[in-house]
Amino acid sequence: MTHDSTHDVNMNETTQDAPNEVGTATRAAQAAAAVAGLFALVVAGLLVGNWVEMYFIFPRQEERLVEMKQAVIANPDDQQLVERVRMIDLRLREKRFRRQDFVQKGGYLLLGCVTVCLVALRLAQWFQFRWPVPTGPADASARQVRQGRLARLAVTAALVFVAVAWGVAVLWPLVRFDVDTGPTVAPFPTMEEVQAQWPTFRGPQGLGVSRHANVPTEWDAASGKNIAWKTPLDGEDGGIQTLPGFNSPVVWGDRIFFCGATEQQRQVYCFDLETGKALWTADIPTQAVLPEDWRLMEDTGYAACTMATDGRRAYAIFPTGDIAAVDLNGRVVWNRNLGVPDSAYGYASSLTMYQDMVLVQFDQSEDDQGNPRSKMLALDAGTGQTRWEQPRPVRDSWTSPVVARVGDAWQLITAAEPQAIAYDPADGRVLWTAEEIMGDFAPSPIVVGNLALIVEVYNRLIGIPANQTGDLSQEMTTIAEDNLPDITSPVSNGTLLWMIATEGVLSCWDLTATVEDPAECMLYDHEYRRESFYASPVLAGDRLYVLGAKGTMHVIDAGREFKELAACPLDDACHASPAFVDERIIIRSARFLWCIKAQP
Amino acid sequence: MTDEPPKMDRRRFCGQSVWGLCLAGIGGLSGYLLGRTRQPETRWQIDPTKCIACGNCATYCVLEPSAVKCVQAYKICAYCDFCPGFLEPGARLDTGAENELCPTGAITRHFVEEPYFEYNILDELCIGCGKCVKGCEAFGNASLFLQVHHDRCVNCNECAIAAACPSDAFVRVPVDRPYLLKGVEEHA
Amino acid sequence: MSRGVLAIAVLAVLVPCTVTWAIERFPPPDFESGYEMPPTQAPDARPGVWQYLDVAVLLAALSVAAWLVHRLRSRRGVFLLMLFCLAYFGFWRKGCVCPIGAIGNIAWAAGDPNYVVPIAAVLFFALPLVFALFFGRVFCAAVCPFGAIQDLVLVRPIMIPTWLEAALRLGAYVYLSAAVLLAFTGSMLLICRYDPFVPIFRLGGSFNIFVLGAAFLVVGLFIGRPYCRFLCPYGVILRALSRLSRHRVTITPDECIRCRLCEDSCPFGAIEPPTAEWSEADYKVDKRRLALLLLAAPVLVGVLAWGGAALAGPLSRTHRQVRLADEVFLFDAGKITEITDPIKAFRRTGRLTEDLYAEARAIQNEFRWGGALAGGFVGLVAAGSLVGLSIRWRRNDYTAHAGGCLACARCFAYCPRHHVHKGHAAPAHAIAPDRFILANAQGAAPEGTRP
């Protein structure tokens, strides 16, 4: 038995406690200790209960409150709900501060109780003190030998324990960070690789020209002729339910990407090119704070912007200003919000790419003071960080930018009121501008040789000598004044140019002619009655593919005279432009995704 | 001394040598470290360029409520009518509890002049959850940001929030310039 | 450098810079009403000069403790000083800065040349060690607030057998080597993170650590200072240095009369009785065992060194860069589907994944050889302990173990010579201890003696 002392022995002390007195004092001290200890236990119990409430119950209540707040936002006129939220909010806030206060006071109380308990215990002990009585043999050699042996055993046992712990810990070995990517993947594809794919709106460079001439010229949905597969997009036949969107599919390798959205939700879809099977759906989170009464026109919708892909990731932008990169397995690699663009008909510019940059033409209307808020952004494809940014002195537009080769250099060409601007896609330097063009710009620019062609809606088709620099406002030439499209973009094979107007007039123009009156350049115009056109035409080999809104693809000989080779019906509404890859045409209609391929 | 066997002398000599070595070692090490310590003491602070306002500051601090609180960089603030750090996204422009983002009601809104409003943080209510910071960064000028308040921070050697910070935003800063404020010119 | 992150962060702040980071979506308004912007709230920090007061108090407390233990030989004095230090370093300074945690700062500074180690941390680390070289563990006795709080709750001490004590003490060495390794590699300050008593001093903090601290105190009701003896990494260093101390703590002020009264007076098991005479046969066996153990020692050190190096995997994950690289790697390999906050934050920095992997690999390497060193150290200690247990020291008197004695001064009053020396009226047992013990055993307690 050992004893403890906190005080010096005072040998001069002569008072002698009678045995019964000692007993009373001891008992009193013990009783005090017991009471204080009990009280301490109660306080400790309350503190633990408080902790449980704080970390397990309270967060759940707060979550519920947040949910209720969301419900109020969805339904702001429910006065009863509003009152309830206010009441719960007040109660939770009160609770939080009451609890903090309780933890403070409880802590001090507990400390006090424990102190009292300890002092009382010490006193009791002091009253009870007896001198030690060493018993047993004074010579402890046997005990010492035994203790030595046991101690060695115990240290060995401790080592064994360490070994066992080691065995458990070693189950988590080092990660070697050997990135197994097979052959090393370059950060971005070469232009040669890009040409073989359909990576952006209107294909490589955004010109609507496919290098694959080996696509079918005839098909029929009713008989299934040359339809490799069709995948329902409305959840029927066990397929997935996609959100609506007018954006066009893009294709890289064996993967097809497009996106869909509603006011609340944004999704990116990936389909297999061979089978048409839905591979995955990626939900794109939003960070947008939407203004009150934020509604978009139904004609534009919440997913009008076509995606872009570089075979490493796929990129999508939405009219909420949310832009995201999704990897080939459907995981969001990065996402950011550029601010909600203020656009009269709803933001619709598609993304394009240059090397490892995603290019965003972020045009919006002026602010209340009339200052332009538009800008051109280049985002790092891997991280989403801004690589360069250029303010644009233009108002809202609905064109998509194109990255095309002019001479030896690449140019990023944009069109909007009141300026067409070309940038160096590498650093955002402005190469040339052409001013005083007017209208709601929607057809995207194209490049033919050194000429940038821009449709000034309802007015004229302008040619700008893109190989020059500086202010080219005076260098603009008018190429056409009639049959201009207001939604679809023109397409050219270098000498001839075709345009399809929404109301159905297909016109062909000779770019090589040198005549005074532009009207004389027109080689023919052909009107498709009772059919409208929202999809941009595509040139594949010596054939022009023009997709009508009812789903009929008009295959037209790309010559100087009008000659329709075939009209292939799909019998479903088609707004998106088709994608052309090796042997296949991919069409997104309202209810289906189609793959057209010559069937043996 | 001559009476003692030489063995004892050797043992004592060895003991004293080790003793001297230890003393010299401790002295040398602390002398070296003290000589290196030219800078003053450090304090913990949040680098606002790295902070992603994840909310860990509110829950991981050893203090209750946390020593991390939101601060307002007035020079950057746009004095929005609809402050995305003050109100829930999509909410009505109404200061009712159902529209406010702050769980403790620590943000106050004052009219300055048409159409500007000043937003202040009440330190005694702020718990550093960063909800307003997220809102302001997503849609505003990111003028709201989190900082360690040194009147509360106990400057733990191993800061519990720093250990839990997902973006490595906790840094040690010199005690004489203990804040990393936005919109303030700082010179060494 | 693997631990450059912190260093870079500190450097970035020291370099003259303009901190302006914001997304300017809206231009700041031009006020017409003469409105003045309020300043951004930034309450002042506790100025750095306070640390010098802490050091001064530490120095004074250590000196007084040495004087109380060695010259005054007063348990009451030690107890009062202990209360003061508990109040000051514990409840007033919230247990921070302390020499135990300072181990981490020193090791971190050793591994990271850019780390700014606080002056107080250096002095808090060094001063108690210097005092231990002169006066033994007077820091443990009266200055350490962790020791104090455990000392106060000790009401009914149970003697722990030597063998259990020897085995449990190994834990402190493992803890020390792990703490030094983690701090040296810039991973974390292990000692500070799992400090069991600081939440009690602060009356707040992590609940789990609170429970840990409370558990230590409950155990401490019966087992004297469990943290100090079986876990404290600083205690391990003090123990080693105290064995070399100039002035050892002695139970008796002058001579040991072998009355056995102090035999069980030490609640920390630091009093060693005189050794018995050994037989010739025992001696032979002991000699052979000692030789075997000495031969086995290098093997033990080697095995544990290898084991330590093999632990690089789990240990390196305490480093945030390795953890981040791990997460990014698993995400990129498609093994994690959900993108986490750290990955998002990492992507935001625009840093190359390869850079991160390279840094993580460098840290893993550091852990490999650091783990080997740490394991080797533990092996060395274990081997030393086994060898030490096999050597038969000769002692004629009751002595306080130079390393294990916490200099708490409890045993002094148990020694009859103490009272004689103090000039108290000589008690019966000081003159004839044998008779006293006998009388005591028969239940006739001496008058007015109560330690």
Question: Which chain B residue shows the shortest CA-CA distance from A77?
Answer: B92
Q: What pLDDT is attached to residue A241?
A: 87
Are A522 and A480 contacting, i.e. CB atoms less than 8 angstroms apart?
yes
Kindly state whether A541 is in contact with chain B, defined as any CB-CB distance less than 8 angstroms.
no
Determine which of C2, C15, C23 to mutate to test the interface with B (most B C-beta atoms within 10 Å).
Answer: C23
Tell me which residue has tokens 């509603």.
A262
Nearest-CA distance A253 → chain B (Å): 35
Q: How far is CA A88 from CA A93, B91, B96, in A?
A: 8, 18, 13
**Do B4 and B79 reside in the same domain of the chain?**
no
Side-chain half-sphere exposure of A565, counting CA atoms within 13 A:
15
Mutate to test the interface with C, among A1, A2, A130, A338 (most CBs of C within 10 A): A2
Give me the residue label for tokens 């510019």: A349
Cα separations (Å) of B143 from B59, B139, B184?
A: 23, 11, 12
Question: Quick check: C6 pLDDT over 50?
Answer: no
Does the complex come out with an ipTM higher than 0.90?
Answer: no
B23 and B57 co-located in one domain: no
Tell me if A144 sits within 8 A of C275, measured CB to CB: yes
Amino acid found at A52: V
Structure tokens at B22: 């230890």
pLDDT at C277 over 80: no
DSSP string, C90-141: IIITTT-S-HHHHHHHHHHHHH-TT----HHHHHHHHHHHHHHHHHSSHIII
A-facing residues of B in 58-87 (CB < 8 A) are 64-65, 82, 84
pLDDT of residue C50: 81
Contact (Cβ atoms closer than 8 angstroms) between residue C347 and residue A333: yes
Name which of C19, C206, C341 is nearest B186 (Cβ-Cβ): C19
What pLDDT does C13 receive?
A: 36
Contact C23 B142 (CB under 8 A): yes
Residue C125 with chain B: CB contacts under 8 Å:
30
- CB interface of A with C, residues 13-32, below 8 Å: 13-16
Task: Measure the CA dihedral C22/C27/C32/C35, to 10°.
Answer: -10
Which residues have a Cβ under 8 Å from the Cβ of A434 and sit 6 or more positions away? A419, A420, A421, A454, A462, A464, A471, A472, A473, A475, A476
Please tell me whether residues B57 and B132 are part of one structural domain.
Answer: yes
**Cβ–Cβ below 8 Å for A2 and C267:** yes
Q: Which residues of C touch B62 (CB under 8 A)?
A: 199, 202, 204-206
Are B88 and B25 in the same domain? no
Phi, psi of A135 (to 5 degrees): -120, 180
User: Residue C261: its pLDDT value, please?
Assistant: 81
Nearest CA in chain A to B93: A292
**Residue C230: what residue type?**
F
CB contact under 8 A, C19 and B143: no
Residues B46 and B20 in one domain: no
| Side chain identity at residue C369, one-letter code | W
Instruction: Return the beta strands (E) in C209-357 as ranges.
Output: 271-272
CB-based contact A567:A561 (threshold 8 Å) = no
Do residues A404 and A444 lie in contact, with contact meaning Cβ atoms separated by under 8 Å?
no
Q: Which chains touch B (3 or more CB pairs under 8 A)?
A: A, C
CB contact under 8 A, C42 and B19: no
Q: What is the DSSP letter of C187?
A: S
Supply the CATH classification number for the domain A191-597: 2.130.10.10
The pLDDT score that the predictor gives to residue A12 is 35
Percent over 90 (pLDDT), chain B: 54
d(CA A273, CA A277): 8
Residue written as token pair 């004052």: B110
Does residue C443 surpass a pLDDT of 60? no
Q: Nearest residue of A to residue C438 by CA position?
A: A133
Residue scoring higher pLDDT (A14 or C407): C407
Contact B50 C345 (CB under 8 A): yes
Does residue B183 sit within a domain?
A: no
State chain C's mean pLDDT as an integer. Answer: 85
Residue B70: φ, ψ to 5°: -80, 145
pLDDT at B7 over 60: no
Let me know whether B2 and B88 are in one domain: no
How far lies A30's CA from each of A109, C224, C402, in Å? 20, 21, 37
Asked if residues B114 and C31 have their Cβ atoms less than 8 Å apart, the reply is no
* pLDDT confidence bin for C21, thresholds 50/70/90: very low
Q: Determine whether the interchain pair B48/C116 forms a contact, defined as Cβ–Cβ distance below 8 Å.
A: no
C330 exposure class (CB count in 10 Å sphere: 0-12, 13-18, 19+): middle
Spatial separation of the C-alpha atoms in residues A432 and A455, rounded to whole Å? 17
Angle at B89 between CA B87 and CA B91, to 5 degrees: 65
Residues sharing a CB contact under 8 Å with residue C281, sequence separation 6 or more, in sequence order: none
Residue C263 touches chain A, beta carbons under 8 Å = yes
CB distance C205 to B161 below 8 Å = no
Cβ under 8 Å to C: B residues 69-108: 69, 71-80
**Structural domain spans, chain A:** 19-127, 191-597
CA distances from A92 to A62, A64, A99, B68, B104 (A): 8, 11, 10, 21, 9
Which H or E element spans position A423?
strand A419-423
Shortest CB distance from A132 goes to which of C264, C329, C386? C264
The candidate with the shortest Cα–Cα distance to B178, out of B156, B149, B158, is B149
Please give the C-alpha separations between residue C131 and each of C161, C227, C238, C246, C249, in angstroms, as whole numbers: 29, 21, 9, 10, 13
B124 and B50 co-located in one domain: yes
Amino acid at C196: P
Tokens 């939101």: give the residue: B70
Domain total of chain B: 2
Chain A interface mutation, best of B59, B88, B92, B98, highest count of A Cβ atoms under 10 Å: B98
Euclidean distance between CA atoms C284 and A515, whole angstroms? 122
Q: What angle do CA B132, B137, B143 make, to 5 degrees?
A: 80
**Cβ neighbour number for residue A333 with a 10 Å cutoff:** 24
Asked if omega into A418 is within 30° of 0 (cis), the reply is yes
% of chain C residues with pLDDT over 70? 89
- In a domain, residue B140? The reply is yes
- pLDDT given at position B39: 65
Which of the four pLDDT bands, split at 50, 70 and 90, describes residue B147?
very high
What is residue A81's predicted lDDT score, i.e. its pLDDT?
92
Give the CA count within 13 Å in the CB-facing half-sphere of C206: 17
- What does the pLDDT look like over A32-60, one tens digit per residue? 999 999 999 999 999 999 989 888 899 89
From A470, A575, A548, A542, select the one nearest A215 (Cα to Cα): A542
Phi–psi pair at C262, nearest 5 degrees: -85, -5
> Given an 8 Å threshold on Cβ–Cβ distance, is A118 in contact with C155?
yes
Report the pLDDT averaged over residues C279-287.
81
Which burial class, exposed, middle or buried, applies to A63 when counting CB atoms under 10 A from its CB (0-12, 13-18, 19+)?
Answer: exposed
Is position B145 within any domain? yes
Residue C243 makes CB contacts below 8 A (sequence gap 6+) with C402, C403
| Chain A hits for B91, Cβ within 8 Å | 69, 72-73, 76
Q: Does the beta-carbon distance from A289 to B135 stay under 8 Å?
A: yes
Its domain, for residue B130, covers: 42-174
The pLDDT confidence band at residue C31, using thresholds 50, 70 and 90, is confident
Q: Check CB contact under 8 Å for A132 and C266.
A: no
> From the list B156, B175, B188, which residue is nearest C14 (CB)?
B188
Q: Report whether pLDDT(C368) > 60.
A: yes
pLDDT of residue B42: 85
Residue B181 lies in a domain: no
How many Cβ atoms from other residues are within 10 Å of residue A461's Cβ? 24
B57 and B33 in a single domain? The answer is no
List, for residues A129-164, the tens digit of each pLDDT value.
776 766 665 556 677 777 788 888 888 888 888 888
Pairing of strands A538-540, A209-210: parallel
Per-residue DSSP letters for A388-404?
EEEEE---------EEE
Mention every residue, 6+ apart, whose C-beta is less than 8 A from residue A84: A68
| Cα separation, A244 vs A265, whole angstroms | 10
**Mean pLDDT of successive 10-residue stretches along chain A, which has 600 residues:** 39 41 82 94 93 88 91 88 93 90 91 93 82 63 76 87 84 69 68 90 91 90 89 81 92 93 90 89 82 78 92 92 90 87 90 93 88 92 90 92 91 92 93 90 91 89 90 88 89 92 91 75 88 92 92 92 91 91 92 90
Task: Quote the pLDDT of residue C3.
Answer: 40
Q: Please report the pLDDT score of residue A137 as a whole number.
A: 59
Q: Are residues B106 and B167 in the same domain?
A: yes
Taking a contact as any Cβ pair under 8 Å apart, which residues of chain A between 134 and 193 contact chain C?
Answer: 134-135, 138-141, 144-145, 147-148, 150-159, 162-163, 166, 169-170, 172-175, 177, 179-180
Neighbours of A148 (CB within 10 A): 20
Cα-only R_g, chain B: 26
> Taking the alpha carbons of B47, B53, B55, B58 in that order, is the dihedral positive or negative?
positive
pLDDT in tens, C194-240: 999 999 998 888 888 999 999 999 999 999 999 999 999 999 999 99
List the 276-335 stretch of A: residues with Cβ below 8 A of C: 329, 331-334
Residue C363's Cβ-count burial label (10 Å; 0-12, 13-18, 19+) is buried
State how far the Cα of B119 lies from the Cα of A95, in Å rounded to an integer.
Answer: 25
